[in-house]
Amino acid sequence: MNRRRFLLTSLAVAGPLAAGAQAGKVYRLGILSPAGLPPRRASSHLYIIDVLREVGYVEGQTLLVERRYAEGKFDRLPGLAREVVQTKVDVIVAVGAAVGAAKDATKTIPILMGIVADPVGSGYVTSLSRPGGNVTGVTYSVGTEIHQKRLALLKEAVPRAARIAGLAGKDTGPPSRQATQHAASSLGVKLIVVEVRGAEYEGAFATIVAERAEALAVMGSTILNIDRKRIIELAARHRLPAIYEWPEHAEEDGGLMAYGASVRDLYRRVAGFVNRIFKAANPAELPVEQPTVFELVINLKTAKALGLTIPPSLLARADQVIQ
């Protein structure tokens, strides 16, 4: 994490995390996700626990965590949500499509959105400023421009690309798909949308290669985020220049480039919400938070492996360049 992002993040969460667990009290947290349990290093959900530990919540002592992962089987979410509710947790962190299942399962337990695209349009909250009900948290809803800019950055990095694949997950929402398609049309490129079925990444990339795609844009998806290592490895194997949604994918995982808000910073905000709910804050009165800082990260080591020269004008605009 660079110094600028660290300072902005620290300032953003200093209030919510200023005080933590009360001595002697045990808090119960539920985590519900449509994806599978990720490796420890890649887990933003576990990062919430790390952040809470900073202010006195220690798992197994003052904090009990109920985790439920649907392993990509979205039809399991309603049952898993009911299981979490039955454990009588104090708050549920629901990720992506799991928010709807959690909301159907309880009208009383506070639910924190662990980054969703369109909470108002999805009916999770009444408005961002006054959520109402028992749902609040963090949204990635900053308009469609970010999807358009992401594709434009990829095209700038790979000017020759006339055919670009858009890798989608089952949970990739219409706004992301439509905005990416609109960007492709405005750039004069052919967008080939390929949706991953189950965990058939090899099959998805076989389709991308068969369609003669010259670059790859990975769309927003909880499952694709969890499985980013496989995607990055397959992109490298097929020598496909690719852009990703989260800066960490280029900064830490070896992706060529990424543009967006830091997933770790956003989950730190989620941890701040958890802390406030534990201290009896009313979710209906806690405004939904949006990202305010976006970063372009370019990995030159990956570019070299691909035989790709990144234009100097693009490098000059990058927030981080990984050598």
Domain ranges of the chain: 3-140+263-285, 145-260+295-322
Specify the pairing of strand 295-299 against strand 320-322: parallel
145-260+295-322 matches 3-140+263-285 in CATH topology: yes
- CA gap 182, 160 in Å, rounded: 19
In this predicted model, what pLDDT tens digit does every residue of 140-180 receive, in sequence order? 877 778 888 999 999 999 999 999 999 999 888 887 888 89
pTM of the model: 0.84
By CB atoms closer than 10 A (0-12, 13-18, 19+), residue 156 is middle
Span 145-260+295-322 CATH architecture: 3-Layer(aba) Sandwich (3.40)
Output the tens digit of pLDDT for each of the chain's 323 residues: 343 343 333 334 434 445 667 767 999 999 999 987 765 544 556 678 989 999 899 999 999 999 999 988 899 999 999 999 999 999 999 998 899 999 999 999 999 998 888 899 889 999 999 999 999 999 987 777 888 899 999 999 999 999 999 999 988 888 788 889 999 999 999 999 999 988 899 999 999 999 999 999 999 888 888 889 999 999 999 999 999 999 999 999 999 999 999 888 888 999 999 999 999 999 999 999 999 889 999 999 999 999 999 999 999 999 999 99
- The CATH number assigned to the domain with range 3-140+263-285 reads 3.40.50.2300
For 243, phi then psi, to 5°, come to -120, 145
Does residue 194 sit in helix, strand or coil? strand
- CA gap 316, 75 in Å, rounded: 46
- Which bin fits 112, alpha (ψ -120 to 50), beta or left (φ > 0)? beta
For 291, phi then psi, to 5°, come to -70, 145
